[in-house]
Structure 1
């Protein structure tokens, strides 16, 4: 029977209570002092019968300082153990406690299954039996602090261990170390867990802007390519939403429930880009984490890796990336161990990769490996026919973020948006309209609230000879337009449909400017 005494916190009160049980020849197996101010005593008297308790209770309540006695189902420590066991059992990751001699003290069900023993067989097992090459107590003493992501090999599987040291009496010196709690995470599932958190906000095709006819064509192509398990190269200017399109393709494919990780290769030093993508082995270089580091590729196992601005990768990175595309294998920095993974590659660039190949700045064999599937995202200035719808979406999103009433664009403001050249594309439009919503007071956004710099405006006339008459200048513009659009619409009929004129007119203009196809309408 378990009893709780509500009592005064005074010296000798426990002795006075226990004496009554001794008079009846009853053994007190366990006792605890609890309550917020030590004003409760819990006793476990195994052989106490109900009739004896009825007789003893008045005597116990006469003990000076005892205010009441009642039966309880559990002692506080028993309740804590049950709650802790239930909590640990609910965890899918193996969790175990060790002492400073390297022996297991306790473990949850997942740890028992990993070690191949029952939970009640865990206490006393030596950790050397499972990790003979790891001096975990020594590591705990050297660090005397939490260790995250220690790489371990256990039963031919790779785990990352989080180690939380245990100190006696809330001290934090090495002498007070009593052991540690070790939590193991399967390395090949870390990326999946991160992605399950991220994917809640990951947009699919339905959230991408499609009001423009050119973007409708792009989305149709993207939906057809998304399920194909092959490398995808997305081309487009900065701010056109290449990463959003990559995420949408990932979500729409067979890997949609697996991790999606992104790495922007622009501006990263070669060593940093390599370690971010491929990871490094323990002690690979000065300043490296002693447990090593998983790269994004390993975190993305089974999923999709998105490499933004792939044209800016170093020659060494290009070689390693080519090797991975060929056979799925790579080596971490500082390691001789081969790692093989199944990961889909999606790349993006705003550069002309064929030109970089001709200049020797990008490997041609890598380009052909990446250029299996291709999507070209048009700039915003080529999709102005959908500007009103896109602007309304941006304004609605900005108003929600700011927490203000939904304003509307005035006709003059809309005209200004349509007349701007948008060097920063959709990202710039979102920023401009966010600022306009924050400045708007009367519920209508006016032109003066649209803060659009002239950066990049001169680039629209770059390469055009402005000498000569207006007819000469317009003729040069016409030539450049046809040169630009003919490769995408390689017949006079296709190009005529694209530009909204007759195919005879286009054929004549192609012939006049000496562009291929001018003789074959």
Structure 2
């Protein structure tokens, strides 16, 4: 009898009762032994395996490699048909000669499937975290189911990883400073200062000293100890120049020099101060048009506009409104120290139909007013500001019809009610509706079924 077969025969009773799968190959790489657990784990027919070359049965097997190298392989993951097994494979010696190898393995298919599902779930969570909603530590919110906003968030994430200047454009209230903070907080400067200045809110005579600081006695009214400017305060971190389009041409020249030289000189000072500051700017003005009109320096524009992020207005991404509503209601409930209210389908539809010229800032203002007016913990159309009701009435307002299409009379009645809620003077209401005062009264008579006092 072959030496390997003698060894197997001596311990076969043990091998047969081992729960793990066992495969033994001889020096030529033929399968000479498999236990019952092998068939149970792999689904392979033991009778069809015996005597065959290992590579013909399981091409990925490491049994041959162990025979050829004499080195054991522990914790080897192998695919067998539709199963995954993890094996410990060691050479079999007869004295100093290798006469075969043995693999002892366990089924890890279920664990492997769980790992695959876990990986996919984690990828989905990461995608949602990055593209759908990103919360900032200061209670701000960046969100975007809308494809335009998803692209904006993608660019912002890219911008966070570099030190290039960023120009953020968009209408008032779209969240330009929020976006700047997001980029800062997602980057390597997150633990350094973020200093914001509104260039349009500070008089030109004071803006220069605010930006660059001043030495004692630099001008009338200057402090005795001087003052560090915003650029110095932001050193190591980020400076956010909001409403950059309102900066005067003379100050634009000085800002350009700072961006080029990466140093400042305080007003009235001699010494230059080296800076390591990332600059982000924002505007709601058409800078390209201003460059063409010579009201904004072209060289400064290109210096600032290394990475441009254009925030779309809320009216162009209405699918994001429900996400903002939920976030803002939760935020406002904390500020107002009140329970977070629900919002009715009618009120949500009214918000979805509104154009929000003031964008997210206006949405937050509307929700705060609605929370103040609400008395039952459920914001309905009656709790919304009148201006929203008037706008909604003109652009597809909500009519409670229990899911069916409203009749013309119902729409007419709702429009009259909403118009009169905003314009109590009936003459003015008739003008807004484009009808005569007499027609208004007639319509009111028909909608109420009784005469109306003129």
Partner of 1:326: 260
Partner of 2:340: 406
- 1:272 maps to which of 177, 202, 206: 206
- 2:169 maps to which of 235, 238, 241: 235
Partner of 1:362: 296
- Give, in whole Å, the separation in 1 of the partners of 2:381 and 2:175: 25
SS in structure 1 of the partner of residue 192 of structure 2: coil
Structure 1 position 307 matched with structure 2 position 273: no
Partner of 1:423: 357
- Count of residue pairs brought into register by the alignment: 257
1:443 Cα deviation (Å)?
Answer: 2.0
Q: Would you say the 8 A contact 2:350–2:388 is kept in 1?
A: no
Partner of 2:378: 444
Structure 1 position 202 matched with structure 2 position 126: no
Q: CA offsets, 1:142-165, max 9 Å, x none? A: xxxxxxxxxxxxxxxxxxxxxxxx
Unaligned runs of 5+ in 2: 1-135, 392-454
- 1:245 maps to which of 168, 179, 186: 179
Q: Would you say the 8 A contact 1:235–1:349 is kept in 2?
A: yes
Q: TM-score, normalised by structure 1?
A: 0.47
Partner of 1:283: 217
Q: Would you say the 8 A contact 1:320–1:330 is kept in 2?
A: no
Alpha-carbon distance change, 453 to 253 in structure 1, aligned in 2, over 3 angstroms? same
Alpha-carbon distance change, 275 to 453 in structure 1, aligned in 2, over 3 angstroms? farther
SS in structure 1 of the partner of residue 143 of structure 2: coil
Partner of 1:384: 318
1:267 Cα deviation (Å)?
Answer: 3.5
Higher relative contact order (CA 8 A, sep 6+): 2
Alpha-carbon distance change, 443 to 311 in structure 1, aligned in 2, over 3 angstroms? same
Q: CA offsets, 1:284-322, max 9 Å, x none? A: 111110111100101111111000000110112101110
Q: Would you say the 8 A contact 2:197–2:242 is kept in 1?
A: yes
1:403 Cα deviation (Å)?
Answer: 2.1
Q: TM-score, normalised by structure 2?
A: 0.54
SS in structure 1 of the partner of residue 327 of structure 2: helix
- Give, in whole Å, the separation in 2 of the partners of 1:339 and 1:328: 9
Unaligned runs of 5+ in 1: 1-199, 458-521
Q: CA offsets, 1:360-400, max 9 Å, x none? A: 11000000100100101111101111222221211121122
- Give, in whole Å, the separation in 1 of the partners of 2:232 and 2:382: 50
Alpha-carbon distance change, 335 to 454 in structure 1, aligned in 2, over 3 angstroms? farther
Once superposed, which parts of structure 1, at least 4 consecutive aligned residues long, lie more than 4 Å away?
Answer: none
Cα RMSD for the two superposed structures: 2.2
